[in-house]
Amino acid sequence: LIAKSDLSSDNSDEELILRAKDLSNKLSFEEKDAVDVAQRFAQSNDDDAADRPDICYLDPMFPPRTKSALVKKNMNILHGLLETQSHEDTEQRLKKEAELLNAALGAARQKVVVKRPIQAPPLGEDLVEKKPSNVVKGSVNRWDVYVL
């Protein structure tokens, strides 16, 4: 992504547009199950290694709520659309989280970054052997960084 220094007033609009176009040519989007995509990258042979992403960024949205109060109305709609209020048992949820993280760890060449609420446990909890190499904390969220 464009670094802060790249956005200084010294850069012309044309230069910023060229940098954005260059960046957009390096990004790809796939509308598929994340585990399937990551596993496909992880299983690629040495000839396809250049196609593997350097970094996998996971934002699994909302972990199950532990508070009894409802979320605000606009967020409640989003939670409902994303099925975050499902009654899936904890063991099944942890297995899915571990599968997602392990697939991303196999797919990425350099690191995996996972966005989590600041108080949430690491993705997959104890079902994932690898622990974050670094944790970056914000006021509401944190980013668990797994360096490979």
pLDDT 10s digits, 45-73? 655 667 788 899 998 876 666 666 666 77
**pLDDT band at residue 98 using 50, 70 and 90 as cut-offs:** very high
Sheet-wide strand order for 134-137: 55-58, 111-117, 141-147, 134-137
CB 41 within 8 A of CB 107: yes
Mean pLDDT of 4-17: 65
| High-pLDDT (> 70) share of the chain, % | 72
Backbone angles phi, psi at 86, to 5 degrees: -60, 155
> What is the residue-averaged pLDDT of the chain?
80
Tell me the whole-structure pTM to 2 decimals. 0.71
